[in-house]
Structure 1
Amino acid sequence: MAWRRGQAYGQGLRDRVAAAARLSLRAAAARSAVSPSCVAKARARLRRTGEATPGPQRNHVPPRPAPLEGALRARVAAAADATLAELRAWTLAEHGVRAGQPVTWKALARLGPTLEKTAARGRAGPPRRGPGAPRPGRSRAGVRPGQAGVPR
């Protein structure tokens, strides 16, 4: 059985490891196709808690701006067009919490605001042309403006 990062082994495998209590660590590991460390940890958990089931997996690091989510929500409502840099500067100035750009972005994602475009943010570059639209500076006849009657 292949180990998948971040996921516990199946309960059937854990039961087989627990049933092989009379075997040595290495023999039980070879029999179940897992590492000796896995067998040792499963046996230790069985001795400590009496359970062969896996424990809960947790992220032990709380998000840095988690206590400020209410204040951040109010700030975004007041200044909806604030950039990430402005929100980071506000967080540092008002609350003394230094948060990086990815942390601020994830905090905003948890709040769930939508990204709005303003009229001042036009497209970068010239407008798109359709398949039959004339090229800029040309008329439909392929003649430059001001040179009527002169073919290309």
Structure 2
Amino acid sequence: MTSEVGEGLRVEALGAHHDRSGFESGVEPLDRYFRTQASQDARKNMAAPFVLVLPEGTIAGYYTLSSTSVQLAELPEQTVRKLPRYPLVPATLLGRLAVDRRQQGKGHGRFLLADALWRASRSEIASFAVIVDAKDDSARRFYERESFLPLPDQPIKLFRPMADIRKLFE
């Protein structure tokens, strides 16, 4: 499925026709993953990579989604009170999100995040929240500005409840 964006931008599932060789976000682990591992993860159903494509076909950014779970004990007490007492609750992992350094500062990161949340909210698979592991303090602040909440004992691991995400798209 492809999401159309203004100005001829589109988000689509990563395919063999996408040239990833020139992608450079400035974060080497994210760049290396995208160039060498993302298509393998897609083929093996380990992650679903999506790319933001510019009108001329250049990749401006990407993100990955996969299923995960979070231990109930990791969540804030006020959240736990509202949940069944299962040891693990299902979640969607936003595993990676990166924007090419030549495209940074144009709102593409926020757009990719919104697209990821939209896709996660439309899934027919049960998911309590979207989980992210921020790579650094800058990434953590980005997610916090987008209403993600830190897990009490893991401040760089954040979550946003799916009920909250669904309200965004009503």
Normalization by structure 2: what TM-score? 0.19
Normalization by structure 1: what TM-score? 0.21
Q: Normalized per residue, which structure has more strand? A: 2
Question: Which structure: larger Rg?
Answer: 1
Q: Which gives a bigger RCO, structure 1 or 2 (Cα 8 Å, sep 6+)? A: 2
Q: Normalized per residue, which structure has more helix? A: 1
